[in-house]
Structures are given as C-alpha cells and as structure tokens.
Amino acid sequence: MPEASEAEIMEHQHQAQATTATSRELPMARSMCWHCQSEVTGEYLCGQCVKVQPLSRDLDYFACFQLPRLLNIDEQYLEKTFYELSRTFHPDFYSTKDESEKAISLGNSAFLNAAYRTLKDPIQRAEYLIRLEAGAVKDIRSNPPADLFEEVLELQETLETFRQLAPKGPSSDLEALRKKLQAEREHLEKRQAEMETSLQHKFNEWDQLQERAALSGQAREEKNTILREMQEILSNRTYVRNMVNDLLETMG
C-alpha cells in the first residue's frame, strides 16, 4: 500500500520535527496522558506514547507563545513560534490518527490560530490584554464620549445630504459639501493617527510598569489606571475609525 507508507513517512518526519520543538513547556489540560496514563510533563506530545495532548483551558494567548504580558512584542519571534507550534498541531498531520487525536489537534490548532491572529495585531493585542487583566471589559468601561457621539450624528447627516445630492450631477452645493467632507476626513485621519500615537505611549508605560512590578510585586492601582486609559483611547478610536470608513465609502 504505497499511500499508507507515504502517510507513515510524513508521520515520522512530523514526529521528528515535533520532538525537536518539545523543549518548550506549556500548561496542558491534564497531568496524565489521556491515552497511556503516563505523566505529562508539559510537553505537547506524550513522552511515552507520542500522542498529542490537549492544551490547558486556562492557557492565555500570551502564555501560549511563552510571552510575558507586554504590549510591545517581538513580531518575528511570534511568527516563528506560530509556525513551529503549527507544525506540531496541524490537523493535516493527524489525518491518519484516531478520532481523539484528530479532535485534540483540531482544538489546539484553532486555539493557536486565534492566539496568533489576536497577538499579531497591536489593537487586538491591547484589547485582549485589557480583557485578561480586567477579568471583564465591563469593569473598566470608559465614560461615553458624548461629544464624539454628536460628531458621529452630525457627520452622518452631512453624508446623507451628500448621498442625496451626488446622483443629481455636479452642482456648487455638492462641490461645497465635498470640500467640507474632505476637510473632515483629513481632520479625522489626523486624530486617528494621534490616538494611535498616544496608544503607543500607553503600551510603553504598561511595559515599563510590568517590568518594574515584576521586581517590586504588585502595582494593581497603577495598572488599572493604564488599562482604563487604554480602553478609553481604544473605544474612541473605534468611533473615529468608523467615521473615516464611512467617509471613504461615500466619497470613494
């Protein structure tokens, strides 16, 4: 059976790769191998029967990549580790294995993909960190930015007028409106960039505090303040980004 032997070769290669990668340790769901009952030492594959082990449900995305909870991260390291772990867990390598192993590889892969996607993007990374650190986002929900809401409503009214005027062909009214909206767009894009800069400052503040807190114990109050400030910038940025997107969509 040539097919079977091909699968076997792939499996061997895969296992060889996997064993070189098992120097890392991650919290696993169980302390015993689900298959042969031998002790699991935090490696992805059982040392005895080489069956893949499910990742711990308590594992967070940072821990999955063995990263500290910092907001400036080494993206090259992240990518490299992602590929390394993907090689261990990818369901393609388990197509000839039994159902339990398939399910575990699928579960681990799905978690790994979500973790990578989230950490790769700085905004999602910050939102995720806030959720992790605050338990629930609600706890540090920021004050509703009333002036921003007014701005959104006003801009939407102007956009609506523009949409009604545009199909009627060129006119001085339409031209004036276009100029107004263009200026608004430039202004909003500048504001979005400013928000991203202040967010980067908060990233740095957070990282410095984390490193300091690691030495001197906790700094809960200070941490919460930074988290709250980040949350506020993030949500305001969402409103501004939506306005920019609506402008781009309407004006082309």
Partner 1 sequence: MAYSEKVIDHYNNPRNVGSFQKDAEDVGTGIVGAPECGDVMKLQIKVENDTIVDAKFKTFGCGSAIASSSLATEWLKGKSLEEAQKIKNTDIVQELNLPPVKIHCSVLAEDAIKAALGDYQKKATDKKSKPAEAAASS
Cβ closest to partner 1, residue 16 vs residue 153:
153
Cβ closest to partner 1, residue 25 vs residue 154:
154
Closest separation between CB of residue 240 and partner 1, Å?
A: 8
Residues within the interface to partner 1 (CB under 8 A): 137, 141-142, 144-146, 148-150, 152-153, 156, 231, 234-235, 238-239, 241-242, 246
Closest separation between CB of residue 148 and partner 1, Å?
A: 8
Instruction: Please list, in sequence order, all residues whose beta carbon lies within 8 angstroms of the beta carbon of residue 173, skipping any fewer than 6 positions away.
Output: 165
User: What totals of helices (H) and strands (E) does the chain contain, helices first?
Assistant: 8, 0
Closest separation between CB of residue 170 and partner 1, Å?
A: 27
Residue with tokens 């699928």: 106
Closest separation between CB of residue 198 and partner 1, Å?
A: 16
**CA distance to 35, 41, 53, 62, 80, per residue, from 31 (Å):** 12, 7, 10, 21, 27
Instruction: Please list, in sequence order, all residues whose beta carbon lies within 8 angstroms of the beta carbon of residue 53, skipping any fewer than 6 positions away.
Output: 28, 29, 30, 33, 34, 40, 43, 44, 45, 46, 104
Closest separation between CB of residue 238 and partner 1, Å?
A: 4
Cβ closest to partner 1, residue 2 vs residue 144:
144
Cβ closest to partner 1, residue 12 vs residue 117:
117
Cβ closest to partner 1, residue 210 vs residue 239:
239
**Helices 122-134 and 99-120 sit at what angle, rounded to 10 degrees?**
110
Report yes or no: 194 and 100 within 8 Å, Cβ to Cβ: no
Classify 67 as helix, strand or coil.
coil
